[in-house]
Amino acid sequence: MRVVGAVCVILGGLVAAVTGPLALDRGSWTAAYLVLVAGVAQVVMGSAGVHGRGTTGSARGWVQFALWNLGNLGVLLGTLGGSTVTVFIGSALLVVSLALAFLVTFRPRGGAHPPMAPRLLLLGYRMLLIVLAVSIPVGMVLSALRNP
């Protein structure tokens, strides 16, 4: 997840670089989406897995990875192609991926409470997942309004 997320950040930067000169419609949105949602959020989810609070390496991790990236692809293609249905399908995949990521954060870790710093990181991670989950319906409504 971290590698693909980093690639998305780079792609978003490249899209941002050509948006102005090529006058790409929705180029700014595409760049921001690639960097923030497909990129940074995915890097954070991958990093959570590396630190024992994600699904990295497990079958669930691969499912989360596939759903996240297929969902992002659906949202991007649906938005650029003007297909609200495709955006909604992609959004549904993102919700399932986020649910998998969130549920793993409640997995017991050896019975003892972790030190304060890891608990704060866990809280921050959960908050990121919630912000992403809340933003999905907002994006769906905006897509439906733009492409009735």
Q: CA 60 to CA 100: how far, in whole Å?
A: 8
pLDDT digits (tens, 9 = 90+) for 28-75: 889 999 999 999 999 999 888 655 555 556 788 889 999 999 999 999
Q: Say how many C-beta atoms besides its own lie within 10 A of residue 126's C-beta.
A: 16
pLDDT digits (tens, 9 = 90+) for 116-128: 667 888 899 999 9
Angle, alpha carbons 18-22-25 (nearest 5°)? 95
Domain boundaries, the chain: 2-146
Q: CA 51 to CA 54: how far, in whole Å?
A: 7
Q: What is the reported pTM?
A: 0.84
